[in-house]
A and B are shown apart, each in its own frame.
Chain A
């Protein structure tokens, strides 16, 4: 099956710093989503981004499907950004699929005040 690797595994920042999280995947994808899992365990959708670039406030994401990677940018980080960031993909390139997401192992982000 498709492999998803996220880096770095851990990231510690001071409030106000910027960061880039990376997601590499081993095959073509129909779906790529970024999630933030907060300290209470809730998985929050950040982006649906199988290709291209999107921005939402201090967060933006870029997926280069041909090179099989995606980047999540966090600018001016805040303590509330702390948690685990997951990349999840669904393998496929236009064929029949069923929406099964394969998750990476996540990047644990800690933002200190």
Chain B
């Protein structure tokens, strides 16, 4: 158990719908990261938050958005869903993840949310 929790574990929805994925980081971790794992693209970084502020963006679609709340949990919102959005979505957390040597700490991954768009 990494200490990172994600809900729900599975989500099945229809094209055009909107869903929200939730992540609670490990106790004490200030940075939260979202990654997407799909068959064709592999594991890709989407976005990072540090202590409530967006810090880095990767290959995140405009239909997707995220935020980190004062209690440090994070939500990833996916809207106008398409078949190609079906994937495993991971949240990760780390202690720091910002500034010089920001990458110099371990990212711990949650169990993921498996999204199926029909």
Contact = CB atoms under 8 A, between A and B. Distances in A.
Interface residues of A, number: 28
Contacts of A103: 42-44
Contacts of A29: 103
Given A45-B106, A45-B108, A98 B56 contact: yes
A51 B106 CA distance: 14
Contacts of B112: 41-43
A18 to B, nearest CB: 26
B42 A99 contact: no
Contacts of A106: 42
A41 B114 CA distance: 9
Contacts of A95: 100
Interface majority SS (helix, strand, loop, mixed), chain A: strand
B108 to A, nearest CB: 6
Interface majority SS (helix, strand, loop, mixed), chain B: strand
A73 interface: no
Nearest to A91: B103
Given A33-B106, A43-B109, A101-B107, A96 B100 contact: yes
Given A101-B35, A101-B45, 13 more contacts: A30-B104, A45-B109, A92-B103, A96-B99, A96-B102, A98-B102, A98-B103, A99-B56, A99-B96, A99-B97, A100-B56, A101-B92, A102-B45
Interface of A: 29-31, 33, 35, 41-45, 48, 50, 86, 88, 90, 92, 94-103, 105-106
Interface of B: 2, 31, 33, 35, 42-45, 48, 50, 55-56, 58, 88, 90, 92, 94, 96-109, 111-112, 114
